[in-house]
Amino acid sequence: MLVVVNQKNYDFSNINNSAFSIGDNSTNISTNNINENDDQFLKLTQTLMQELKKSELAAPQQEEVEQLVDAIVNGVNEPQPKKAIIRSLVDSANSIIQLGANSTNLITAFEKWSTYISQVLGG
């Protein structure tokens, strides 16, 4: 799958148990412990990052959300995820998006992504 973000091409066709970078700040997204056969999380993360880049969210807030997404993905991929910390990070990202974004697409992408994370964490 080829994804274009800020006029840069990202090829996700060979991603299995590895990390990839997306965005101007090379936010690393790890896919290690998410079910290898379930690329839903990868697609949701890609969509979220695309919508973040298209949004009118100010650059500092975009960078902060990217860092939060990176920390959340890494946390979910831990052998024993620290659920309270991950939920706190998700809440922080949600606050930034809700307060600063005028994009319903970004808000919807974030809601789908965070719902998936909640399901992975068990509620």
Instruction: Name the DSSP class of 13.
Output: T
pLDDT score recorded for residue 31: 42
Q: What residues make up the domain containing 7?
A: 2-121
Confidence of residue 100 (pLDDT cuts 50, 70, 90): confident
N-to-C CA span, the chain: 30
Is the confidence at residue 101, as pLDDT, over 60?
A: yes
**Residue 103: predicted pLDDT:** 86
Contact indicator for 76, 86 with CB cutoff of 8 Å: yes
User: How many domains does the chain divide into?
Assistant: 1
Interval 6-19 mean pLDDT: 51
pLDDT digit string, tens, across residues 65-82: 999 999 999 998 888 999
pLDDT, position 114: 95
Predicted confidence band of residue 17 (pLDDT cuts 50, 70, 90): very low
DSSP-derived pairing of the beta strands 8-11 and 2-5? antiparallel
Instruction: Tell me the pTM.
Output: 0.70
Q: Which tens digit of pLDDT belongs to each residue from 32-50? A: 445 543 588 889 999 999 9
